[in-house]
Structure 1
Amino acid sequence: MEPPGEKLGEAERPRITPQLLKSRTGEFALESILLLKLRDLGLADLGCLGECLGLEWLDLSGNALTQLGPLASLRQLAVLNVSNNRLTGLEPLAACENLQSLNVAGNLLATPSRLQCLAQLRGLEHLRLRDPLARLSNPLCSSPSYWAAIRELLPSLKVIDGERVSGRGSELYQLCQDLDSSLRPGSSPRPRATEAQPWVEPGYWDVWPTQSSAILEEACRQFQLTLQECQDLDHQASDSLARAQQALSPEGNPSSFVF
């Protein structure tokens, strides 16, 4: 028989409950939750998370998860961060047909075959297995050929561990490399182009998405707030400079000083 203390500890392991989700999001109905951040809570049990059927963005990093069973019902999930947990497999994610970005750095995935369950996710483009800045990795990353194995297993990926492997992003990277080389001392000048060409297609920098998405709308909202803050700071800086120039001008008060 296990000591009473151990049984109590097992019963009190942190888990996701409807009360936790409602307090974190303010949503009364679990299926209405679209974005959810539950990081660094020591969670060992996903509890009722599978009832959040509308969930599109989920952060479960920094917990104590060993399995992802309830996530199999989250068909709308597009972005998932389960880094820094204790996962040895990802099988439930095979049902997350809309998954686009997955971070599993800092888990216990031993071989590339543990990612076979992701092969049918055609929309999956971003995968992180290793994060040097956060000192997170997986056992499979110890093999120098793991990149090649992952690319063969998941050919639709465009970004692995933060580095682009295909698409226009890699072309842009090569363009920047060429530009850097041409600007180094001793580089031979290249002929000038007759007409400058845009790097991106028209409309690339349009702020608001054409399709409704909670993730994109939230990102755009935060971008607009940040942009407004920058504009406010710019106005404040311009006003301060104008006052300083006025105070330091010959026509100004000689006894005025600006510190």
Structure 2
Amino acid sequence: MEPPGEKAGEATGLRITPQLLKLRTGEFALESILLLKLRGLGLVDLGCLGECLGLEWLDLSGNALTQLGPLASLRQLTVLNVSNNRLTGLEPLAACESLQNLNAAGNLLATPGQLQCLAGLRGLEHLRLQDPLARLSNPLCTNPSYRAAVQELLPGLKVIDGERISGRGSEFYQLCRDLDSSLCLSSSPGPRAPEAQPWVEPGYWDCWPTRSSSILEEACRQFQDTLQECHDLDRQASECLAQAEQALSPVGTTSSFVF
């Protein structure tokens, strides 16, 4: 049986307190907290989170948040995950001048105009508004042209919903789209054949149409380049994480942060 306090917390929602933060991080001073994972705790109130002035990495996903007011004081915040909450606006994030990566999938953002508050964040490069694998989205994503609208509103973005739209690698995504389109055109069934005729037209089973070979070759080449870049970035990230864990963890213990 769960303690009464836990049941009450589930019923009324949880508020962030200094005691909670110190318990989760082991830090005595709130301004010393650099990385914080508060995923799936039933949070409804960010409480004193704004006092964590040194915070750089924050995961608030899977809670019941409706506003982000206290985050306005987090000028060092670089990575923020607020996916799977109940947010209808992101206005407080306008003050998070160091923000580079924002995951806001699975909220209640209805129009691209609600992202106008992010226009002043010059370092913001990665934005996620939907995540098909996790079945998270926003109402604004039902418009097929929402990505173009978001890109126009926030021209500094390099990645939207995990897809690179500018910079190195963006050409590869475009090649993949072109390849998909050409394959769909080549394999579209024609008029229904008479019963005495073969049920598919000659050449139906050809793997690649001749006119698509140049696209395919270029896509394969750029895929190999992108894959190598991913391997290099993975190695660098692993080294950085190992150094961070060694610096942040007590002697003899390790910890991990998954975003």
Deviation string for 1:30-88 (max 9, x for gaps)?
A: 11111100010000000000000000000000001000000000000000000010100
- 8 Å CA contact 2:163–2:173 kept in 1: the answer is no
Contact 1:208 1:220 in 2 (8 A): no
Structure with the bigger percentage of helix: 2
Gap change, CA 1:176 and 1:147, over 3 Å in 2: closer
Structure 1: distance between partners of 2:239 and 2:158: 19
Consecutive unaligned residues of structure 1, counting only runs of 5 or more, are 1-7, 191-195, 210-214, 223-259
For the structure 1 residues 128 and 177, does the alpha-carbon distance in structure 2 shift closer, same or farther, using more than 3 Å as the test? closer
* TM-score in terms of structure 1 length: 0.67
Aligned to 2:100: 100
Superposition TM-score, scaled by structure 2 size: 0.67
Q: Name 1:135's counterpart in structure 2.
A: 135
1:140/1:173 CA distance change after superposition, 3 Å: closer
Q: How far apart, CA to CA, are the structure 2 residues paired with 1:135 and 1:170?
A: 24
Q: Which runs of 5+ in 2 are unaligned?
A: 1-7, 183-206, 215-220, 246-259
Alignment map for 1:99-118 (pairs within 5 Å): 99-118=99-118
Residue-by-residue CA offset, 1:155-182 (whole Å, 9 max, x unaligned): 000111111100002135467899999x
Q: Which residue in 2 is equivalent to 1:150?
A: 150
Distance 1:139 1:56 in 2: 29
Please say if residues 63 and 85 of structure 2, whose CA atoms lie closer than 8 Å, have aligned partners that are also in contact.
yes
Match of 1:256 in 2: none
CA RMSD after TM alignment: 3.5
Query: What residue identity is the alignment partner of 1:139?
Result: P
Deviation at 1:12, TM superposition (A): 4.7
Counterpart of 1:218? 241
Query: Which letter maps to 1:26?
Result: G
Where does residue 34 of structure 2 map in the other structure? Answer: 34
The structure-2 alpha-carbon separation of the partners of 1:9 and 1:205, relative to structure 1 and needing over 3 Å to count, comes to: closer
- State whether residues 87 and 108 of structure 1, in contact with CA within 8 Å, keep that contact through their aligned partners in structure 2: yes
- Say if 2:44 is the partner of 1:44: yes
Q: Please say if 1:166 is aligned against 2:166.
A: yes
Aligned to 2:75: 75
Letter in 1 for 2:127: L
Amino acid at match of 2:48: C
Alpha-carbon spacing, 1:147–1:16, altered in 2? closer, same or farther (3 Å): same
Structure 2 distance, partners of 1:177, 1:57, is 33
Runs in 1 of length 4+ with deviation above 6 angstroms?
8-11, 175-181
Q: Is the alpha carbon distance of 1:199 and 1:12 closer, same or farther for their aligned partners in structure 2, counting shifts above 3 Å?
A: closer
2:15 matched residue in structure 1: 15
Count how many residue pairs are aligned between Structure 1 and Structure 2: 203
Deviation readout 1:1-56 (Å, 9 max, x if unpaired): xxxxxxx8899531101111111111111111111000100000000000000000
- In terms of Rg, which structure is larger? 1
The percent of aligned pairs where both chains have the same amino acid is: 75
Distance 1:20 1:10, change over 3 A: closer
Give the SS at the match of 1:67.
coil
- Separation in 2, partners of 1:135, 1:176: 23
Contact (CA 8 Å) 2:102, 2:127: kept in 1 or not? yes
The alignment partner of 2:156 has SS state of coil
User: How do 1:200-215 residues align onto structure 2 when only pairs under 5 Å count?
Assistant: 205=232
Task: Please state how far the C-alpha of 1:217 moved relative to its aligned partner.
Answer: 3.3
